[in-house]
């Protein structure tokens, strides 16, 4: 069943004799019934030939009939005729006896659609993509590749990338058809023509689904399988557009060629039919070879995980510490966490972020610091609560320098909660402070009474290379001092997030005002610092 109407006949004839494949003929006849594309193209081709021949015979009308007469019969007698293969018997004979010169009554028909080619030539419109590149064998290749990558997925989306010159060929075919349409006063919009991409998907989706044992091949899925076709032979097809529509092809930094699909489509929208036809044949010249399929790309959308970490080491940076290309510390918090996570999700890479960060020599104790990771191209995306617990154990057993809790999969949207309002949050610290002047416990007792002390912090010298020079106001909400010996005391602080604690203690050459030196009227320094808590209520805690 071709679902073609009598009025389509001259178009079918025209396209077949121009070297369009069966599926492309359906496309230009605006057949949008997916099943029509799933049939073996050879079968469709025979039906199309039958459709054309059958009625040519029936009408006793030679193919190259004067335009006028064709028009009149189109409107008159066969208006409502549909796709039924009314030309079936002659069609069969054409098929079985390709060089049926002994069948005189079919000679005309044979001449019309040239059924002598047993090997179908490469389609002028799709460059072979809807021919052998859209077959069960190709579907098997795609599924082999997907299986080899060992992704876990419930559904997949098939995407296809086509050479840009296909748009030029499509336009050329369209103009060829349009001429016929105009002569017949038929109104068809170019947008009604089924795109190569669509026809490819309609055909391949079900084939790939079958090869993968019934996996749903859908239009939206976190798992994408991309096929790409190139056709170097006809790459130059686009080039005339650069002179005809120069302003559409501006060189861009990252693109290899200015002839991107987008630019070509834009140029084709602008160019007049007359100018196009002056530079490019309509219908397009037949190609020698089919498109070449490139590597099949599998890509799973990112998975996000979150949790809290403790850092127990004073020689562990949060992220790899590299100065002048040289690594300074052998590991980092993010690497210690990432290694087991990446192997569990079988991801290609990650991005790590956290609610603030601590210096290499600062420990993070208490409930830990919230962090999140974006896992790139994970081959596994679903872990049960039990699996996540197991993963957390693996991380915690791998090193005594860090510990992770509340590890969970989160949404991309939820991740933003970690960053929002970060500056308004409070953080608690404990600092070991040294004083130059000997002190007694009575000398530091007044510190406990200080509430909501506002500091003016000029960007610390040690971070000036990465942060803009500014004076930032930060609030120390509460402090508590515990005497240790005449030169040492423990200082507990609760501060607004973003307060530089080290600078508050040693003063940073007066860049932080007031500071502990001013308050105690002696030189003071900070020997050790621990983050006791980061009061961000995300991610939700998970009971142990
Ligand atoms: Zn084609």
Residues 6+ apart with CB under 8 A from 480: 447, 448, 491, 492, 493
Active-site hit among 359, 361, 525, 535: 359
Distance (Å) of CA 27 to CA 33, 368, 454: 10, 60, 72
Helix (H) or strand (E) holding 361: none
C-alpha–C-alpha distance, residues 83 and 25, integer Å: 14
Confidence tier at 190 by pLDDT (50, 70, 90): confident
Chain centre distance of CA 172: 31
Q: How far is ligand 1, taken at its centre, from the CA of residue 78, in Å?
A: 27
Q: Is the pLDDT of residue 525 over 70?
A: yes
End-to-end CA distance of the chain: 64
- Please tell me the predicted confidence (pLDDT) of residue 108: 46
Other C-beta atoms within 10 Å of 294: how many?
Answer: 12
Q: Identify the CA nearest to 335 among candidates 419, 402, 406, 408.
A: 402
Positions of E strands within 216-302: 216-218, 223-230, 292-293, 297-300
pLDDT of residue 88: 37
Dist. CA 27 → ligand 1 center (Å)? 9
- What percent of the chain has a predicted confidence (pLDDT) above 90? 71
The answer to whether residue 70 scores a pLDDT higher than 90 is no
Tell how far the Cα of 21 is from the centroid of ligand 1, in angstroms: 4
Q: Nearest Cα to 500, choosing from 522, 524, 471, 536?
A: 471
Rounded average pLDDT over 338-342: 97
Question: What span, in angstroms and rounded, lies between the C-alpha atoms of 412 and 530?
Answer: 30
Q: What is the CA radius of gyration of the chain?
A: 36
| 111 CA from centroid of ligand 1 (Å) | 21
What number of residues does the chain have?
544
Is 6 or 333 the better-scoring residue by pLDDT? 333
Give dist(CA 175, CA 185) in Å, integer.
Answer: 14
CA of 23 to the centre of ligand 1 (A): 6
Q: pLDDT tens across 90-104, in order?
A: 333 333 333 434 444
The model's confidence at residue 1, banded by pLDDT at 50, 70 and 90, is low
The whole-angstrom separation of Cα 129 and Cα 293 is 9
Helix (H) or strand (E) holding 150: none
Distance 130 CA to ligand 1 centre (A): 5
Tokens 């970690």 locate to: 418
Percent of the chain with pLDDT over 70: 87
Q: Are 539 and 410 in contact (CB under 8 A)?
A: yes
CA of 158 to the centre of ligand 1 (A): 19
Collapsing DSSP states into helix, strand and coil, what is residue 431? strand
- For residue 179, what pLDDT band results from cuts at 50, 70 and 90? confident
pLDDT in tens, 34-66: 999 999 999 999 999 999 887 544 443 443 433
CA distance readout (Å), 116 to 14, 22, 46, 53, 109: 17, 15, 12, 14, 11
- Taking residues 442-456, report their average pLDDT: 97
Pairing of strands 155-161, 223-230: parallel
- Helix boundaries (H) for 157-195: 165-183
- Coil/strand/helix, residue 201: helix
Directed axis angle between helix 261-270 and helix 165-183, to 10°? 30
3-state secondary structure (DSSP) of residue 423 = helix
Domains plus CATH for the chain? Answer: 6-113 (1.10.10.2050), 136-299 (no CATH), 303-421 (3.30.70.2510), 425-534 (3.30.70.3190)
Give me the numbers of helices (H) and strands (E) for the chain, helices first please.
19, 17
Cα 122 to ligand 1 centre (Å): 8
Are 471 and 503 spatial neighbours (Cβ–Cβ below 8 Å)?
A: no
Which residues touch 293 (CB under 8 Å, ≥6 apart)?
133, 138, 141, 227, 228, 229
- Omega before residue 84 within 30° of 0, cis: no
The predicted structure's pLDDT at residue 93:
34
Q: Are 259 and 238 in contact (CB under 8 A)?
A: yes
- The pTM of the full predicted model, rounded to 2 decimals, is 0.78
Span from the CA of 196 to the centroid of ligand 1 (angstroms)? 8
Q: How far apart are the C-alpha atoms of 97 and 115, rounded to whole Å?
A: 10
Residue 332 scores a pLDDT above 60:
yes
pLDDT digits (tens, 9 = 90+) for 376-411: 999 999 999 999 999 999 999 999 999 999 999 999
Q: Which residues contact 260 (CB under 8 A, 6 or more apart)?
A: 164, 252
Long-range contacts at 213-221 (CB < 8 A, ≥ 24 apart): 215/153, 215/154, 215/155, 215/156, 216/154, 216/155, 216/156, 217/155, 217/156, 217/157, 217/158, 218/155, 218/156, 218/157, 219/157, 220/157, 221/153, 221/154, 221/155, 221/156, 221/157
pLDDT digits (tens, 9 = 90+) for 266-302: 999 999 999 999 999 999 999 999 999 999 999 999 9
Average pLDDT on 213-226 reads 94
Ligand 1 center from residue 51 Cα (angstroms): 18
The predicted pLDDT at position 415 comes to 81
Q: What is the pLDDT of residue 120?
A: 67
* Residue written as token pair 């079919």: 106
Asked if residue 2 has pLDDT above 80, the reply is no
Q: Which residue, chain included where needed, has tokens 């409930």?
A: 367
DSSP 171: H
Confidence at residue 244, expressed as pLDDT on a 0 to 100 scale: 83
Among candidate residues 136, 156, 160, the one with its CA nearest the CA of residue 210:
136
In the predicted model, what is the mean pLDDT of residues 62-77? 38
Q: How far is CA 298 from the centre of its chain?
A: 10
Strands of 191-302, DSSP E: 216-218, 223-230, 292-293, 297-300
Catalytic residue status for 359: yes
Between 356 and 289, whose confidence is greater?
289
């Amino acid at each position: 069943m071709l679902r073609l109407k009598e009025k389509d006949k001259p178009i079918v004839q025209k396209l077949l004799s121009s070297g369009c494949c069966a599926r492309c003929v359906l496309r230009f006849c605006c057949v949008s019934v997916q099943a029509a594309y799933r049939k073996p193209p050879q079968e469709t081709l025979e039906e199309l030939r039958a459709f054309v021949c059958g009625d040519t015979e029936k009408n006793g009308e030679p193919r190259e009939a004067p335009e006028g007469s064709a028009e009149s019969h189109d409107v008159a007698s066969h208006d409502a005729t549909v796709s039924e293969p009314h030309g079936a018997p002659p069609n069969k004979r054409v098929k079985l006896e390709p060089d049926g010169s002994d069948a005189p009554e079919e000679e005309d028909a044979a001449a019309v659609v040239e059924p002598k080619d047993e090997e179908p030539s490469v389609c002028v419109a799709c460059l072979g993509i809807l021919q052998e590149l859209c077959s069960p064998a190709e579907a098997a290749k795609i599924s082999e590749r997907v299986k080899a990558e060992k992704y876990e997925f419930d559904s997949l989306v098939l995407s296809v990338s086509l050479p840009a010159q296909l748009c030029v060929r499509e336009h050329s075919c369209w103009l060829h058809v349009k001429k016929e349409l105009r002569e017949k006063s038929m109104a068809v919009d170019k947008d009604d023509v089924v795109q190569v991409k669509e026809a490819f998907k309609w055909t391949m989706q079900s084939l790939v689904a079958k090869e993968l044992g019934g996996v749903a091949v859908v239009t939206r899925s976190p798992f994408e399988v991309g096929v790409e076709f190139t056709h170097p032979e006809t790459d130059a097809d686009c080039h005339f557009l650069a002179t005809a529509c120069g302003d559409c092809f501006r060189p861009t930094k990252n693109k290899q060629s200015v002839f991107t699909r987008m630019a070509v489509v834009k140029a084709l929208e602008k160019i007049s039919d007359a100018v196009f036809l002056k530079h490019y044949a309509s219908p397009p010249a037949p190609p020698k070879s089919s498109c070449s399929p490139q590597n099949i790309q599998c890509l799973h959308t990112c998975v996000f995980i979150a949790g809290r970490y403790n850092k127990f080491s004073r020689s562990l940076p949060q992220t790899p510490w590299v100065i002048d290309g040289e690594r300074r510390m052998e590991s980092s918090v993010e690497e210690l966490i990432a290694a087991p996570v990446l192997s569990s999700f079988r991801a290609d890479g990650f991005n790590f972020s956290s609610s603030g960060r601590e210096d290499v020599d600062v420990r993070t104790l208490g409930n830990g610091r919230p962090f999140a990771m974006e896992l790139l191209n994970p081959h596994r995306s679903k872990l049960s609560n039990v699996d996540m617990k197991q993963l957390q154990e693996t991380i915690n057993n791998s090193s005594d320098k860090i510990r992770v809790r509340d590890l969970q999969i989160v949404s991309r949207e939820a991740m933003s909660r970690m960053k929002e309002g970060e500056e308004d949050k409070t953080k608690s610290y404990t600092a070991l402070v040294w004083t130059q002047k000997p002190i007694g416990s009575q000398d530091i007792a007044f510190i406990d009474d200080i509430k909501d002390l506002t500091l003016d912090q000029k960007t610390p010298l040690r971070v000036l290379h990465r942060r803009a020079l500014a004076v930032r106001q930060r609030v120390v909400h509460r402090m508590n001092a515990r005497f240790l010996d005449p030169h040492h005391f423990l200082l507990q602080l609760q501060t607004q997030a973003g307060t530089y604690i080290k600078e508050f203690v040693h003063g940073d050459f007066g860049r932080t005002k007031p500071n502990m030196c001013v308050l105690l009227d002696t030189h003071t320094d900070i020997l050790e610092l621990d983050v006791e808590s980061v009061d961000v209520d995300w991610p939700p805690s998970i009971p142990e």
